[in-house]
Amino acid sequence: MRRAALLAALLIVTVAPPVSAAPPPVPVVDYLKRISGTRTVTGMHNKEPNSDPARHTAKVHAVTGVYPGLWGGDFLFAADDVAHRQTMVDQAKTEWRNGSLVALTWHVCPPTRGSACAWDAGVQDRLTDAQWSQLVTDGTALNNAWKARLDEVVPFLRQLLDAGVQPLFRPLHEMNDPWAWWGGRPGASGSRRLYQITHDHLVRTRGLTGMAWVWNVKDLDAAGMAGYYPGAAYADVVSLDAWNSFWPSTTYYNTLKTIANGKPIALAEVGRVPSPQELASQPDWTYFMAWPEFFDDKTLNPDSAVRATYGSPRAVNQGQLTAGANLALGRPAYSTAVEGPAYPAANAVDGNPATRWSSAHTDQHSLWVDLGSARQVGRVRLVWEAAYARQYQVQTSLDGVTWTTVHEDYAADGGTDEVTVNATARYVKLYAFQRGTPYGYSLWEMGVY
Helix (H) or strand (E) holding 149: helix 141-151
| Percentage with pLDDT > 90 across the chain | 82
Q: Report pLDDT digits (tens) over 191-227.
A: 999 999 999 999 999 999 989 999 999 999 999 999 9
Q: Which of 48, 95, 152, 269 does the annotation list as catalytic? A: 269
**Backbone phi, psi, residue 162, to 5°:** -65, -30
Do 236 and 372 reside in the same domain of the chain? no
Answer yes or no: do 12 and 98 share one domain.
Answer: yes
246-255, 319-328, 331-340: range with lowest mean pLDDT: 319-328
Regarding whether 394 and 250 lie in a shared domain, the answer is no
CATH of the domain at 414: 2.60.120.260
Same structural domain for residues 157 and 232?
yes
Hey, how many other C-beta atoms are within 10 angstroms of the C-beta on 162? 10
Final residue belonging to a domain, choices 267, 291, 324: 324
Phi, psi dihedral angles at 289 (to 5 degrees): -130, 115
The pLDDT of residue 325: 62
Can you count the helices (H) and strands (E) in the chain?
Answer: 13, 17
Q: Name the residue range of residue 93's domain.
A: 4-324
Q: What pLDDT score was predicted for residue 3?
A: 43
pTM over 0.85: no
pLDDT at 24: 38
Same domain, 339 and 267: no
Of 291, 324, 357, the position where a domain reaches its end is: 324
Helix H or strand E segment including 295: helix 292-295
- Domain final position from 304, 324, 344: 324
Residues 308 and 351 in one domain: no
**How confident is the model over 9-61, as pLDDT tens digits?**
444 332 222 222 234 345 799 889 989 999 999 999 999 999 999 999 999 99
pLDDT tens string 356-394 = 999 999 999 999 999 998 887 878 989 999 999 999 999
Q: How many residues does the structure list for the chain?
A: 449
**H helix or E strand, kind and range, residue 269:** strand 265-270
Question: pLDDT digit string (tens) for 187-201?
Answer: 999 999 999 999 999
- 98 and 160, same structural domain? yes
Claim to verify: residue 377 and residue 284 sit in the same structural domain: no
Position 10 scores a pLDDT of 43
Among candidate residues 48, 95, 174, 339, the one labeled active-site is 174
The overall average pLDDT reported for the chain is 92
Q: Are 165 and 156 in contact (CB under 8 A)?
A: no
Same domain for 259 and 337: no
- Residue 2 confidence class, pLDDT cut points 50, 70, 90: very low
Closest of 109, 110, 90, 99 to residue 50, by C-alpha? 90
**Catalytic residue check, 152:** no
Are 319 and 347 part of one and the same domain?
A: no
CA end-to-end distance (rounded Å), the chain: 23
Tally of domains within the chain: 2
In this prediction, residue 5 carries a pLDDT of 41
316, containing H or E segment: strand 315-316
Within this chain, do residues 304 and 340 fall inside the same structural domain, yes or no?
Answer: no
Percent of the chain with pLDDT over 70: 93
Tens digit of pLDDT for each residue in 290-319? 999 999 999 999 999 999 999 998 999 997
Based on the domain organization, do 180 and 272 belong to the same domain? yes
Say whether 339 is catalytic.
no
- CATH number of the domain within which 94 lies: 3.20.20.80
